[in-house]
Structure 1
Amino acid sequence: MGSATTQALAASTQALAAAKDVTLDTARELFAAAHAVGESSQLSGALADPAAPEAARQNVVSAVFGGLSANTQAILRAAVAERWSNSTELVDGVEELAIRATAIAESGVDIEGELFGFLRIVAANPELELALGSRLGAQDAKGVLVERLLTGTTSAAASLIVSSLVRQPRERRVRQLLSRAMRIVSSQRGRVVATVHSATELNDAQRTRLSDALSRRYDGQVALNVVIDPTVVGGLRVQIADDVIDGSISARLADLRQKLAG
């Protein structure tokens, strides 16, 4: 991510936070806008053109997205008023705003947990991952497939995020899309996500102690996603972003074998 995009994304996120009445419809419209911009090199180029005056870029938003709500148009105008490093990162930025809007609209829903649950389903079903990640077949059909799979099992918020992302993968793997969405939702809610690998399920007391310990270490609220992994043998393996804390017996045995091997 370029420095210009970092600044543009921060400013756009602030504009979203200042917006009133952010609903799932707002998020849905932002996803649609991201899809439209991503599908048209001419449109994305016009909106991300640093040589074009700010007013001209905002006028393009009004002309192309005039059918969207005033709230969504205002957020999009704020986004294109910023300088993005390139058109691809503008599309990424609008998509991130859509994910953040979903988190704002459904603040009481465990979206991260639901996304993680679907990610585990995808990881355990190679055929499903292949069907969703294949370049063959219409993207809309993949979105409909996801909606059918999630109906009755997840919230409308999580279903919107997943179905929208698989409709516009842009060369990204399904698990990569889901992991990024989880990080964005957690960031919007001011917390980080820890993926915990354990040989057995953690009880409520264990979850609380681990979450509290990690929150102190990372100076912020930490949400836990627990994966039951028999290969851990005992103890825990915790991953937060690029940090890995491996206290499992299997890791200790591997380290011991390495030392014995010289």
Structure 2
Amino acid sequence: MNGASREALAAARTRLEALTDSTSVDAAQLAEQLAAITALLDREVGLRRVLTDPVQPAEARAALAERLLGGQVDGPAVDLVAGMVRSRWSRSRDLVDAVEELAATADLTAAQRAGTLDDVEDELFRFGRIIQSSAGLRAALTDREATATAKTELLHSLLGGRANPVTERLVARLATRPRGRSLEAGLEATSRLAAARRDRAVAVVTSAVPLTDGQKQRLGAALAKLYGRQMHLNLDVDPSVLGGISVRVGEEVIDGTIAERLEEASRRLAG
């Protein structure tokens, strides 16, 4: 997002935090309603353009949102979106992206309240790995001809009773409403949101064998010192790395695997 949209999103995040700080607000219900508003704005291009039209007065845009949403969703969702359309947005699509992010954040807040945020983070990561390793499952969940109901039922058969309900809801939304984004990208973005709930980054750690508890603690402490913030470790075992570990934080990769050193040696010999 560009300048105006970044500022508008920052303000919306602050308003969401204020809303969900109140125990009277059902964060999971708010998430579902924001997800429904996301679908509406994504589908109705003309509407989102009107709601972000800088020529129209901010209060007129907010009043339109309140008329359209009032009676359809609860007051907190109406107030939140009305506040968002009062802001300036660089592109109308940025408003939809922002509402979608707030929906995921509200669900993650529900998990945090229940003390299960760590479980949701881990489950999102593991499901992403399952998608990468199962071409058939990925094809079924990204099939444009498959209905949202069919995808939701498939996910429920896989995750129902095995994963946190928040995880199942988040994955179902990503699969049924991809909005031009790959399922893997959606899972990774949602994982980052989950990490941000505790003001920590995500490090994807790949090793040939599972790390011991002591190794995980030492690695987490070293990465926290290096990056200046707490790290959530997503652990992946891949025998092809032979030995050592590879760590990815965002776009940065620290590769200390034997396989990488062998490849580097081969490149030098070839050169």
Q: Would you say same fold, with TM above 0.5?
A: yes
Residues 81 and 181 (structure 1), Cα distance of their counterparts in 2 relative to 1, 3 Å cut: same
Mapped partners of 1:90, 1:106: distance in 2 = 25
Structure 1 stretches of 4+ with a deviation exceeding 3 A read: none
Match of 1:61 in 2: 65
Match of 1:8 in 2: 8
Offset at 1:114?
A: 1.0
Structure 1 counterpart of 2:66, which letter? S
Structure 1 counterpart of 2:140, which letter? A
Match of 1:260 in 2: 269
Mapped partners of 2:197, 2:3: distance in 1 = 20
Normalised by the size of structure 2, how large is the TM-score? 0.92
Offset at 1:46?
A: 1.8
Structure 2 counterpart of 1:14, which letter? T
Structure 2 counterpart of 1:92, which letter? D
Unaligned ranges ≥5, structure 1: none
Task: After superposition, give the CA deviation of every residue in 1:99-124 in whole Å (9 maximum; x if it has no partner).
Answer: 11112121121221111111111111
Task: After superposition, give the CA deviation of every residue in 1:124-170 in whole Å (9 maximum; x if it has no partner).
Answer: 11111111112212234323322332101111111111111222111
Normalised by the size of structure 1, how large is the TM-score? 0.95
RMSD across aligned C-alpha pairs, in angstroms? 1.3
Equivalent residues in 2 for 1:1-262, closer than 5 Å: 1-19=1-19, 20=22, 21-66=25-70, 67-107=72-112, 108-109=115-116, 110=118, 111-262=120-271
SS in 2 for 1:194: strand
Offset at 1:30?
A: 0.9
SS in 2 for 1:136: coil
Residues 215 and 129 (structure 1), Cα distance of their counterparts in 2 relative to 1, 3 Å cut: same
Offset at 1:188?
A: 2.8
Aligned residues: 262
Mapped partners of 1:177, 1:50: distance in 2 = 30
Offset at 1:22?
A: 4.7
Residues 180 and 59 (structure 1), Cα distance of their counterparts in 2 relative to 1, 3 Å cut: same
Residues 22 and 210 (structure 1), Cα distance of their counterparts in 2 relative to 1, 3 Å cut: farther
Mapped partners of 1:43, 1:32: distance in 2 = 15
SS in 1 for 2:8: helix
Offset at 1:173?
A: 1.1
SS in 2 for 1:171: coil
Contact 1:34 1:95 in 2 (8 A): yes
Mapped partners of 2:100, 2:157: distance in 1 = 22
Mapped partners of 1:236, 1:101: distance in 2 = 34
Mapped partners of 2:270, 2:131: distance in 1 = 38
Unaligned ranges ≥5, structure 2: none
Structure 1 counterpart of 2:162, which letter? T
Identity of aligned residues (%): 36
Contact 1:38 1:91 in 2 (8 A): yes
Mapped partners of 2:122, 2:140: distance in 1 = 23
